[in-house]
Every structure is written in structure tokens, then in C-alpha cells.
Amino acid sequence: VAKRTSLKDIARALGISEATVSLALNGRPVRAETRRRVLEYVDHVGYTPHPLARGLALQRSMMVGLVCPDTENPYFGSLVKHVSEHMSEHGYSLVLSLSQDNPQREADILKSFVDKSFDGAIVMPLDVRDNPAADFSQFDRFGIPVVFCTSYYASHKATCVRSDYYDGAYQLTRHLLETGHRELWYLVTADPDLPVASERLRGYAQAYRDLGVERSDDWVIPCDEVTSASGYEVVSELVASRPLPDGILALNDYMAFGVVRALHEKGVRVPDDVSVAGYDDVFYSRIAGTPLTTVRQDLDVLAQRCVELLVAQMRGEAPGTDEQVIIPSTLVVRQTTRDRRPG
Amino acid sequence: VAKRTSLKDIARALGISEATVSLALNGRPVRAETRRRVLEYVDHVGYTPHPLARGLALQRSMMVGLVCPDTENPYFGSLVKHVSEHMSEHGYSLVLSLSQDNPQREADILKSFVDKSFDGAIVMPLDVRDNPAADFSQFDRFGIPVVFCTSYYASHKATCVRSDYYDGAYQLTRHLLETGHRELWYLVTADPDLPVASERLRGYAQAYRDLGVERSDDWVIPCDEVTSASGYEVVSELVASRPLPDGILALNDYMAFGVVRALHEKGVRVPDDVSVAGYDDVFYSRIAGTPLTTVRQDLDVLAQRCVELLVAQMRGEAPGTDEQVIIPSTLVVRQTTRDRRPG
DNA sequence: GTGAAAGCGCTAACAA
DNA sequence: TTGTTAGCGCTTTCAC
């Protein structure tokens, strides 16, 4: 268990002062010969500055916190991957903490990030309208920049990067209407006013309007949970009590898988009898038994923009705004939907 | 952008010395009245010690690094979740960094963890026999404890926690043999000597032996990659050139999904014509079109043991050993396999 | 029981 | 250009 070499060691070995070594290492003006000797020695002994000491002196830890609901969910798993990649490109360490569908935990984690003096934080908010437990004023008070990823809380003015849920749902709905679908159910959150749902519903409704197709509010189905199990249950019941629609849209791919399964069990064929579509294009959608029609979010550029915006704020190059950065979504037509036009 | 309150602020406000405040906060002997005043004030202003300063003084950062191949893969996503949970229970921050199937990156990340003086590290090794780029001696030299999770490198003597691949494959194979299967293909890594493959193959072979069923080495199929696409391609080709086996086993669930898909496209019914089984029991296996027969790894206890062992080492309560901790696996029979006994 | 002082390893302001 | 000094915020001897 050796001790790491410190500036002092280097200074002593080279017969110069710590300050000079520091200057040389940080590319500040020193005699060329001095720099050469320092770099050579540093390379020789494999010295790296102690980040804690550096952070303390510079008041900057080079660490950013990430609050994520759950990496077990491949949607977030993918998002975390991209955030991690882009963050390390900028030289920051990523500290991961999971909110686990618990607003109180989300708030606690956020507070702990402030307490730990991280340089910034990225938050992937839970599906709640606002998190009353989260005291965002803390962030302002100590000046730690925050960027919201995928969604945001109305109570807090911070940058938000998310994909274009409105347009994604619009493209999907329009495509289905144009291929002869008429009655499309939309499985959404219990509270349809949540951003994740409301934006999609806006796109959905707009497509109906643009194409002059009639629509009923009964087709919007609030579900207690946005899970595969929930999609399964809700559709199992619905199919027993209502006539079949032309298609069923789900808030995300997982829910759609549950829907497909429910239909399958009831002897309803997908897409022959009913079309099904999801949202997100998680990896599994491609390789599913019947590959899923869905809307792809470009998680890589989403993460990239998040990181860029946060880094700019941390560097003081840009102020924190409540700007919404919207990333385009793209329709991916696979095999759970089919053309329903007569003839 | 206010400044955080420091010990000095508290000391001044209370008219006592910094040292006393520190002692009071750390539960060291101080007058009861003093402690009360300190705690009250601290609570009042919401003070938290600066972790960088604390870390510097204590030579202990309370951060551990996690090297993970890829959180986009739900197997690792799930593992990361559990590691994160257990780590935070012990008060440590988790710094995540992805090796992305690149041994050089894995090595670089490892080195950076040492350079950053993290208190310890958990490594989920890539599927390579050994990582020549990773200089594990660094860890010993600076005394940062490492625990391997799911697999290990023979070159380095460190604790390893993994599930019982041998027994999992044994249970699975035995179950299939007992239900009338005879010819079972096993899709494995290009190098069947990797721990991930060799352990499973041992269990597979042992089951044949125990039940006195004949087996051919031709049934072990090395594949360049362990992915869904690879499973799909390999089986697509094999089915065209060989008679159908009774069942096909894959190294993990993703590969198995690819196998199912390939069979499906060739008009081979699962499980009617051929049984298929995976390994891991990733979330999707439950809700797949035809729910997958697989072997479940208990990732929660796996992660828990990893964390416990690492924490013990970081606290100096336990020495680093090269002990292998093996977590039991359990067979999960679903619908991609069926009883093939005659009659 | 409490305070003064030194130290963790680094950077920055100011002299020399 | 380089060295000296002070300071980041905390812990910890060691006297008092």
C-alpha cells in the first residue's frame, strides 16, 4: 500500500517549488526546460493530481450527478449509457443515483448532490406533475446547474431536453389514419395532463383534425401504470366489453408488448385484426416475435444535448434558462400495424 | 450563488473553535451542552460537511467506481440498479463508467479509478480471457480494493461474485433430458474456454453423463458474438444444413430471442418442433410472445454480496482474497420448451 | 472538554 | 520565470 506521489515529492525530486510544478503541469508560463523536466518526471513516476485536493482548491469537483428512475428499464438504461459516454468525453465523472419511482427519493438525491458540491446535475424526472418534495431553490442558492432530461417540472425553471412527443404521436397517428385506421385507442397515464401524455395526445388529436377524421374522447384510456402488466390488464378487460378498434397505441413499447400479449390470448390477431404501436423503439422492439411499430427517440443526441448544455452552464459559458430543447422523433413502421384501406 | 456554510462559520457563530464543532459532529467527547448547541445550529442552517475537504483530510472519498460493459443491455442495467441500491445503503456514491466491449477502455477506466483515489471498485469484466491492458498491480500498489462481478480475470487475485453457471446449465440440461430431449445444441462464445461458456458447458456435459445420454461435441456451437443477431444468423444457417435437434440452448436470453426468430422464419415451430432456452431471465423473457424458458440469476443478492465484500475490504475489516462467491441459479420453465417424451 | 496548530494536496496571488 | 505564502474545509494530535 504505497502512498501516491504528490506535487511536493516532485518538487523535492527536481529541486524546484511545488508552485512551479503546478504551473508547468497546467500549461502556464514556465521556462521550456523546466516544463520538459517536470513532464518527463511526471511521466516517469506516473503522477496524477489528487482530484479531491484539486477540487477543493479549485472549488470544482468535475463530478456531475445523474438522477435516474431505474436503469433496469432499458429506456433509461440506454439513456444512461449515452449520458455517460458524452459526459466522459467532457472529462466529468458521472455519479449515478436511482429515484426508483419515489418522488421523495428523487428529492433527497437532488439535495444530496447539492450537499456534495457536485458541479451539476442531470435529472430524469419521475412521472409526476411536479415534485413538491424537491426543493429546487437549493440549486439556485448554491449555483449548481441542473438540466432536465426527457421531461421537466413546471415549478422549476431549468433547461429541459426532450424528444418531440407531439410530433412523434402526430406522425404515428397520421400514418395510421392514412392507411385506413379510424378508431385508435390511446393508452395513457392516469393523469392525462402529465407532459409525457399530454404532448402525445395533442399530436394524436391534431392528426385526426388535419385529416378530418372523427374522434371520440372515449378512445383515450387512462391507465394506473405505464407498464407491460398494465397494458395487458387494461386491454384484456376492454376487449371483453367493447367492440375491437382498428388500432391501439401505447405510451411506450413495454406497454405495447403487454397489449399484444393480451390480444394474442384473446385470440385477436396482430396486425390482422388490430394494429398495435408503441413508443421509444427500445432494443427489444426490433427483435420481438412480431417486430413492433413504434416511434424512435434519438436518445444519443438527446443525451448529447443535455450534456452540452450542462457543460456550458458549468463552465459559466451559458446562463441557465428554462428553454426547452426538442429533439425530433421518427416513425418506425414494423409489423404490428398493417394497411387497412379497403381493396 | 451563496457560499456554503463551513465549520468556521459555525464556530464563529457559536463562539467556539472549529475543532470543537468537528468533534461534536463526529460524536466525540464534548460537553453535552456544547453538542446540543452545535447540533441545533447545524440543523438550523442545514450544514453538511464538504465531502472533498473531508475526503482529503480523511484520505477516503466515499466513492466507488463501477466498470460496466453497457447499461443498454438490460442484464447489466439490472445489475447496475442493484449495485447502486446496495451501495447507497452503505453511504457510498457510485461513479459509473462504461467499458463498451473494449478491453482497452476497461483498463483505462480502471486506472482512472486508481488515479482518482476512489475507495474501491467493482468490475463487471468483458468477455475476454484476460485483459492484458489492465494493470491490476496498480490496485494492489495503492491499496484500492476491487471486487469482480459476474466473472473474473485469472491474472488477478481479487474476490469474484458470480452466479452458479455450472449448476444453472446443469439444471436446465437435466430438465430437458428428463423430458425426453436428446440432441441439444449449445450456442456459446467463439472461445468456449471463457468462464461464461466453460462453466455452462461443464454443467451441460455433466447432465448428459449423469443421465447416461450420449452426446456429440458437434452440438457445441461457437458463435462469434453473443447477441440476438448472432443467434439468429447461426441458427438460420444451421437449420439449412443439419437435421433439426430437439432443443437449442443459448448463452443468454438475447441470443435465444434471435434463435426463436430464426426458427420462426424457417417455419419451425417453438416449442412444437424444437425447444429453445436462454439464460439470465431478463425482464423481457417473461413477456415475450412465447415466454422464454431460461435460468434466473439472482442479480439482487449477487450485487448485494459484491457490495458487502467490497465495503468490508474498504473498511479494512476483511482482507482481499481471491475467493469465488457463487450465487445459486434457478431454472425457470416457460413456454419455449415442451415435454418430448413419447406417449 | 476545548482551543491552537499542523496537515491532507492542490492552486492562486503576490513578491522576488 | 520562479519561490513564498495563504487558503480551499475538514480532522486530528497535543497542550491547556
Q: What is the mean pLDDT of chain B?
A: 95
How confident is the model over A60-79, as a mean pLDDT?
Answer: 97
Nearest to B251 by CA among B287, B298, B302, B200: B200
pLDDT by residue (tens digit) across B59-112?
999 999 999 999 999 999 999 999 999 999 999 999 999 999 999 999 999 999
The answer to whether strand D lies under 7 Å from the CB of residue B24 is no
CA of B119 and C1' of D11: distance in angstroms? 18
User: Is pLDDT of B131 > 90?
Assistant: no
User: Confidence class of residue A142 from pLDDT cuts 50, 70 and 90?
Assistant: confident
Report residues 20-59 of B contacting strand C, contact meaning Cβ closer than 7 Å.
20, 23-24, 29-31, 33-34, 53, 56-57, 59
DSSP 8-state secondary structure symbol assigned to residue B116: T
Query: Least CA distance to A116: which residue of chain B?
Result: B51
Nearest to A185 by CA among A150, A217, A229: A217
pLDDT at B155: 83
CA of B45 and C1' of C3: distance in angstroms? 24
The answer to whether strand D lies under 7 Å from the CB of residue B333 is no
CA neighbours within 13 Å on the CB side: how many for A299? 21
- Which of B71, B97, B264 minimises the CB distance to A71? B71
pLDDT at B130: 86
Q: What is the mean pLDDT of chain A?
A: 95
Pairing of strands B93-98, A93-98: antiparallel
The answer to whether strand D lies under 7 Å from the CB of residue B58 is yes
pLDDT at A320: 84
User: Is pLDDT of B343 > 90?
Assistant: no
- Which of B72, B94, B261 minimises the CB distance to A287? B261
Residue nearest to nucleotide C11 (CA to C1'): A57
Tell me the shortest Cα–Cα distance from B67 to chain A, in angstroms: 12
Query: Does A132 sit behind a cis peptide bond, omega within 30 degrees of 0 on the bond before it?
Result: no
CA of B156 and C1' of D4: distance in angstroms? 46
CA neighbours within 13 Å on the CB side: how many for B153? 22
pLDDT by residue (tens digit) across B12-41?
999 999 999 999 999 999 999 999 999 999
User: Is pLDDT of B211 > 90?
Assistant: yes
- Which of A51, A85, A96 minimises the CB distance to B116? A51
Q: Strand, helix or coil at B184?
A: strand
pLDDT by residue (tens digit) across A183-204?
999 999 999 999 889 999 999 9
How confident is the model over B191-216, as a mean pLDDT?
Answer: 96
CA of A20 and C1' of D3: distance in angstroms? 8
Alpha carbons A14 and A36: distance in angstroms, whole number: 11
SS (H, E, C) chain A: CCCCCCHHHHHHHHCCCHHHHHHHHCCCCCCHHHHHHHHHHHHHHCCCCCHHHHHHHHCCCCEEEEEECCCCCHHHHHHHHHHHHHHHHCCCEEEEEECCCCHHHHHHHHHHHHHCCCCEEEECCCCCCCCCCCCCHHHHHHCCCEEEECCCCCCCCCEEEEECHHHHHHHHHHHHHHCCCCCEEEEEECCCCCHHHHHHHHHHHHHHHHHCCCCCHHHEEEECCCCHHHHHHHHHHHHHHCCCCCEEEECCHHHHHHHHHHHHHCCCCCCCCCEEECCECCHHHHHCCCCCEEEEECHHHHHHHHHHHHHHHHCCCCCCCCCEEEECEEEECCCCCCCCCCC
pLDDT by residue (tens digit) across A237-261?
999 999 999 999 999 999 999 999 9
The answer to whether strand D lies under 7 Å from the CB of residue B53 is yes
pLDDT by residue (tens digit) across A272-304?
999 999 999 999 999 888 999 999 999 999 999
Rg of chain A taking only CA atoms, in angstroms: 26
The answer to whether strand D lies under 7 Å from the CB of residue B3 is yes
How confident is the model over A168-194, as a mean pLDDT?
Answer: 97
User: Confidence class of residue B289 from pLDDT cuts 50, 70 and 90?
Assistant: confident
User: Is pLDDT of B1 > 80?
Assistant: no
The answer to whether strand C lies under 7 Å from the CB of residue A26 is yes
- Which of A78, A97, A287 minimises the CB distance to B228? A287
Q: Three cell numbers at B342?
A: 413419447
How confident is the model over B147-172, as a mean pLDDT?
Answer: 94
User: Is pLDDT of A138 > 80?
Assistant: no
Query: Least CA distance to B52: which residue of chain A?
Result: A52
